[in-house]
Structure 1
């Protein structure tokens, strides 16, 4: 396959007596890190025939495309390949569903490898399965530069979380040490009180003996005895108060320990989420986007509304996933901005290219006004803010247009997103930036999202020190804006 951006027709032998069907694939697949295998739809013996493999397939198995096309994928199996897993794949595909399994295959050089497979049927316009698309990944350490960079970033995030956990553990240890010292002081006072009580009891014994010896001094001794008893009662009350303080200190210590365990459990959950969600959730969403991109170019005008609904559902899934991950990272304190000068034009162009097909599928006009300004911000976090604002506009704008542009405001640049949606009443404009708040979704229908997008915008903007504002006119539309400092302002300050 060539590296241009046109679609190519790749054919292959479909078996004896069968004519191979042409298959339209994208050159993007040749640049994917995961191996992609496309076969025909025949499941009877000898099985489906390989019609297309990408470059990552050759890297994974050692077989070139001309060595694999026209053969059944079974030629990759070996004695360690589990027949039960192979039967499960065939059963799932016969039922019209996707198959997700792990099995052992053999490379061209004879070595075995464990791989993860996601096999999905590609359904034609008439509802019948035309091809199967398999995405394969070797289950081993990936040492590519991109993977190492990604792992490094995840390690840095994990180290940040661990440092935060160690800081909290240190604070808790200091609190426990302080309470332990206070408990030791209370215990010392308790022992001191017991010693005083023993001394008083000894004094009472001496006074009783003196009372027996000196009967004539009875009244004076009786007075001293009553005084000692009063002193004893006072000491008893003090002892009781000391015991109450000890009990209260023990209760507070138990509460502190419980709070520490709760914080440790919460941090552990967040660490686990950040470690597993990236691989387990992003890969299916990425595959879904690839399939939708293939279908978008294969369907006719009659299917455009259906395709628009699918693209909107995919946008909701991706927005929900990114919102949950961003919320977990924000709550765990794992987001640390990297501020640098950046051109805003490239970011606007990327976002416009990404969301334009979805807007067109829904019958909306989406335009981005170019800008030559240089701003100072974190590129990834600022792009996430703008993506969430565009996704929010697409979700609520049923007809009309969406416009993204910039205005200079002194030493700052205000990036604005205009829409012709239903608008937001003034008394509700603050509430929409709260988590899990949706004005037109009181029943919390999960198909319309969970209300995290604008909350993430507010929190990320606060982390960057950018101001987020909203202007809205009911029944006419809304405009969300984020204000970012210009790079020229930073240079003027340095010159001063």
Structure 2
């Protein structure tokens, strides 16, 4: 087997990770438990393995050169509990050690129950530099001889932990010393600033005296030449203004020409989009009829697959209808009709349409009814809600999708909750842009093109409704749309 430390340094150099000498590697190579040393990066795609001992190869079947440079996640299997993995990351972010049990997979494909203890390694500055993971197969022999050997290994591990604690204590002492030195330097710096302020004040007094003398000397000459300089300045300013106006006129002409070209190109694109969307409606509707017939002929084993097909068909139909409506709005062929709408009927219709697809995928879909009456366009508001529910159905693997309403004074907020992967705060604005999918960086067309939420944003702007998003990565998201409540006696109007 290649030298683990050499492989680690080569992998670290290739991946840009600055390797630090691990002075306890000989001790780890003599341990019977698997030891994994990673860097301290907890952001996706996770930490990188810098070192593994011989026991790691015996436990997993992977050599050191096959593991170094990769994320420990490659050991996980479909039965690995993602909640436990998320808990490990949270505990390490809080600077604590993590202890857990996971189902991992060896190189030969067999699965094993693994007990993990992960401890941060703190450097001289008090920052976490590495993570050390000690892994043990829970199905190992528990004979007295094995227990004695494990006891000896535990003592070795405790010795290692004590050494780490000693190093951490020394680091804390070094930090305290540096803080005291910094306080002394800061005090000296403040004294220097005070002295500098005093010197600058004296210099300012001398400069003021010199300026007064200079003004008295130059006053006569300035008064003689003031009129001439003023005329010259006015002439220069007028010449510069004329040049700016000429450049502005040239730029305005170029801008107008470019605007006309873009408007013509946009008109062609809108016409093409409207025609293509209209032509695609017929095969999509036919697909829905075929899927409805096929659903009644499949058994229970095929229900998840059928649920995915129905959800994909409903997503395609929702997307096409939204694209067609958006194209009509942009082309001026359709204007929103704002009128009082009972929201209960619309929620019931959307719930009944998406419920079979959710049940076939093993999801719960609930809709909480409301007796509120809102002001909006019925067709466009339905497009928005269908896109939000289709988006939730697409990303929720398990759990519940909830659609309900909240009153906010003279407005109503319709919310769609899901238990999907969640959205990082830095990406919450970009997901409403065209062709943006957070889980599809490779632009795989089989997974859609990222237009559903962009259509929601554009239709909401045309209706004057506010779109909201709250999300918790790893737990789920809630999309909302806020629209005004209808006042008594409010009559239908066009926008």
TM-score category, normalised to shorter length: 0.3 to 0.5
User: TM-score, normalized by length of structure 1?
Assistant: 0.46
